[in-house]
Amino acid sequence: MAPRLDFSNFWAKDTNKGTPVVVTMENPNFSVVEIDGPDAAFRPVDKSRGKNAKQVTWVLLLKVHRAVSCISWLATIFWALLGTIKKRLIYREGVAMESGKLGKQKLLFTVIRVFLVTSLAILAFEVVAYFKGWHYFRNPNLHIPGTSDIQSLLHMVYVAWLTFRADYIAPAIQALSKFCVVLFLIQSIDRMILSVGCLWIKFKKIKPRIDWDSLKSDDVEKSGYEYPMVLIQIPMCNEKEVYEQSISAVCQIDWPKERLLIQVLDDSDDESIQWLIKTEVANWSQRGINIIYQHRVVRTGYKAGNLKSAMSCDYVKDYEFVAIFDADFQPNPDFLKQTVPHFKDNPELGLVQARWAFVNKDENLLTRLQNVNLCFHFEVEQQVNGVFLNFFGFNGTAGVWRIKALEESGGWLERTTVEDMDIAVRAHLNGWKFIYLNDVKVLCEVPESYEAYRKQQHRWHSGPMQLFRLCLPAIITSKITAWKKANLILLFFLLRKLILPFYSFTLFCIILPLTMFVPEAELPAWVICYVPVFMSFLNILPSPKSFPFIVPYLLFENTMSVTKFNAMVSGLFQLGSSYEWVITKKTGRSSESDLLAAAERESKMVNQLQVHRGASESELSELNRIMEQKEVAPKPIKKANKIYRKELALAFLLLTASVRSLLSAQGVHFYFLLFQGVTFLLVGLDLIGEQMS
């Protein structure tokens, strides 16, 4: 029965006033008198007795006006509150926030808004149900469904879902999965061909060779003519952790001093770091090293702009070759003697690239997994392409360029974040050849934190797609052979830079988890198990010590495809994130070159006084202040580990779907699969959180 809202008593004015009184007398001679109200003589006069209909109408209108004014006032306050929330929290007007926190805040506010809208909808439904009388279970018109009704309804919904899933969802997933499987097989064949080529190089002992006798001479004057003029560039930006060891390693390179010039290209925006680097450069200059310091006021074009600015100096025309080392690279003293002689009697050679070696490859599980990928890249991809094609992507560092090749190819351009790959492609289109030296290794670091590694991978995968859009017309219209054009377009860009992240993300991160909920589109076991394991086995071959990490490597690479796919899309469609350049965080790990420079650090403090004598008083005070801050600086506090739930959850879902697909025929219980997934996850991916920060 619905409630009755009667407001007649509220409007009536002729209600009795006062409290009824009952008087009982103990004396039986008196009777009981019951007084219902005050006597007429004491009853107040009813003031509404003389009102007419017009007065009553005005009173009602006045009450309605007050009610409408109250409602309007409440609505105005509520609307102003919503407007303030919209300005302050949604559009961030008057609020300064970091860009990194902005996305998380938007997601949080979206969740809050959805919750509020849902709450209001539920409240409106409750009000309607109350006035309809649905809350009163004794209402004869109210039908309460029983258990059988609910079960039949759920059964109908489930049958409808099965029909829709089998007729519409499963065919679409099957078609997409077949397309991705074809791409997967093509990329696997390419990996196998590269691996076979690497084995052939090892078997035949094919490698570039030089004539060492051309550099051997006891005559000092004659040796001066044997050694060409070499320029070494060290681009850096706020590299406080590694600037000292990098400059020290480069200054110890064995090459005639009069034939060598070192450029320290500093883009740091921190004045304290600038003074530290200046001091280091001045220290080595006092020791007789030809080294100069160059700083840009406006940091445009990032690394490409820095190198372009350095190559525009007038004295560069006196040099024939330029070697480039990033701030964390530490070459051996014989680096130039192992690379520059390859240019002799080879006028078509434009680049000699050395291999990277990592001082912190065993620091944690993340560095070990990166070592697996990079070892395959240098040992297999770079070496095979260098031997059979004389072309590969320049790695941006640990390489020696012929300056003439740089100038004829257009020099450094600031149009992408992969300036190294850009200049390599343009030099290849101009007919220059490359040589890769797998035996010449330069020590460097790999990112030790997941956040730094993810940002690095985003730049490495968004830049090539951005470059592909820019270089495609030039590749088609170039004068190189059709085979080289096909290699650039189909293999170098499409297969290894676009298809790889696309099928890896789509097949293993979307289709495979969906097979848990759509069994009609189940993938075969050889796609989700045998071929990926075999490909992982091939990738680990160049680094055999990494075999115990094959399971974490397989899972981690599949989950990292989310980041790589996102970067590929942003570069292909010219999104804003494709222009982001985040410097990879360095830690300054010790190396062999550091050990060589350790004996010289004691004399450095003595020579520091000689450096300061040539400085002004303001420079002396600034240097003393910086050195004091450096001495009393507290040790950095280790940050708390940060588990990236998205990647770990995706890896867990991927592993569970894989095991389920493999063992579903044997009827294994789902909870057993869940236990297996948790076990492998703890053994493999959870170790990544040791150094995440």
Produce one character per residue of 356-384: b if its CB has 16 or more CB atoms within 10 Å, e if not: bbbbbbebbbbbbbbbbbbbbbbbbbbbb
Read off the tokens for 438.
């797998």
Residue of 266, 326, 420, 422 marked active site: 420
Four-point Cα dihedral 268, 274, 279, 282, nearest 10: 60
Mark out the alpha helices in 329-442 (DSSP H runs).
335-339, 365-376, 383-388, 403-408, 419-429
Rounded-to-integer distance, Cα 98 and Cα 458, Å = 20
Rounded-to-integer distance, Cα 276 and Cα 247, Å = 12
Give the DSSP per-residue string, 503-515.
Answer: HHHHIIIIIHHHT
Rounded-to-integer distance, Cα 453 and Cα 367, Å = 9
Task: Judge whether 420 counts as a catalytic residue.
Answer: yes
Residue of 267, 326, 422, 594 marked active site: 267
Task: Judge whether 267 counts as a catalytic residue.
Answer: yes
Positive or negative: CA dihedral 508, 513, 519, 520: negative
Angle formed at CA 399 by CA 398 and CA 402, multiple of 5 degrees: 155
Sheet holding 349-358, edge to edge: 291-295, 260-266, 230-236, 321-324, 399-402, 349-358, 433-444
Return the number of other C-beta atoms located less than 10 Å from residue 197's C-beta.
18
Closest alpha carbon to 467 in 415, 432, 424, 431: 415
Read off the tokens for 73.
């006032």
Beta strands at 349-358 and 399-402: parallel, antiparallel or unpaired? antiparallel
> Which residues belong to the active site?
267, 420
